[in-house]
């Protein structure tokens, strides 16, 4: 972001390590760079200067496509395409990063929907008829089905009702229990899932307890 004195540093010397099975929440004021941090971790900011590692392997040794298939970003407003629930769940397998991977069958899709309380939704339901909460859960299920190693979730429970929030939390917890690493940007109060809550402000990331003190 350019200024009169040169480019501004939205993130300045941020260090973040997330272990397998760990959920880390990033909080902070609006506009502080939380979404930018997730995009940088997903290698979606070509101009960013950063040292990134996945399982100890430097990002320079992993192609951007391979990285994004393993480090999956779910934006705050996920895309719901024209078509039914099945079409939306299988969207990743129409893209180059996953086209060669086996597609889940209908039984696997239905089982995944059941995990977030959408077992009765049906694979033939028109995507345009889904509620905001249903669409958010469909988008999360879609990402988890691709079996990434890292989930980057940008306010995954924003604007959701209580039932949808609980369902999203359960699926996130299940992903971590199976060895996945999770970084969530959140505004809500803690739900008890995160091992750490980090506060981002002024381009710096610090434990929330230190900021509070």
Contacts of 6 (CB under 8 A, 6+ apart): none
- Note the helical H segments in the chain: 34-41, 64-70, 85-89, 106-115, 132-145, 162-177, 208-212
Residues listed for the chain: 213
**Number of Cβ within a 10 Å radius of residue 160:** 20
CATH of the domain at 193: 3.40.50.300
Note whether 200 and 28 are within 8 A (CB): yes
pLDDT at 202 (0 to 100): 85
Does pLDDT of 105 surpass 60? yes
Report pTM: 0.89
HSE, CB side, 13 Å, CA atoms: give it for residue 40: 19
Number of domains in the chain: 1
Between 14-18, 134-138, 160-164, the lowest mean confidence (pLDDT) is in 160-164
| pLDDT tens per residue, range 110-143 | 999 998 999 889 999 999 898 888 998 999 999 9
pLDDT category at 5 given cuts 50, 70, 90 is: very low
Domain range for 93 is 2-212
Average pLDDT score over residue span 180-196: 90
pLDDT at 99 (0 to 100): 84
- Rounded mean pLDDT of the chain? 88
Contacts of 146 (CB under 8 A, 6+ apart): 69, 72, 92, 98, 101
- Looking at per-residue confidence, does 11 or 21 come out higher? 21
Between 34-43, 81-90, 182-191, the lowest mean confidence (pLDDT) is in 182-191
pLDDT category at 213 given cuts 50, 70, 90 is: very low
Angstrom distance (rounded) from CA 127 to CA 135 = 8
């Amino acid at each position: 972001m350019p200024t009169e004195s040169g480019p501004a540093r939205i993130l300045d010397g941020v260090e973040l390590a997330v272990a397998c099975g760990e959920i880390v929440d990033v909080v902070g004021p609006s506009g502080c760079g939380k979404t930018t941090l997730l995009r940088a971790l997903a290698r979606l900011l070509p101009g960013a200067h950063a040292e990134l590692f996945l399982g100890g392997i430097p990002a320079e040794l992993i192609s951007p496509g391979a990285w994004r298939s393993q480090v999956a970003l779910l934006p705050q407003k996920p895309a719901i395409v024209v078509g039914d629930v099945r079409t939306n769940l299988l969207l990743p397998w129409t893209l180059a990063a996953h086209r060669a991977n086996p597609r889940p069958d209908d039984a696997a899709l239905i089982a995944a929907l059941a995990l977030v309380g959408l077992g009765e939704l049906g694979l033939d339901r028109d995507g345009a008829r889904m509620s905001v909460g249903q669409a958010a859960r469909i988008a999360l299920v879609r990402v988890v089905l691709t079996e990434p190693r890292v989930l980057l979730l940008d306010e995954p429970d924003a604007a959701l009702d209580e039932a949808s929030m609980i369902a999203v939390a359960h699926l996130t917890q299940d992903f971590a229990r199976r060895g996945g690493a999770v970084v969530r940007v959140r505004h809500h109060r803690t739900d008890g899932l995160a091992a750490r809550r980090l506060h981002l402000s002024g381009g710096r990331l610090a434990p929330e307890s230190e900021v509070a003190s």
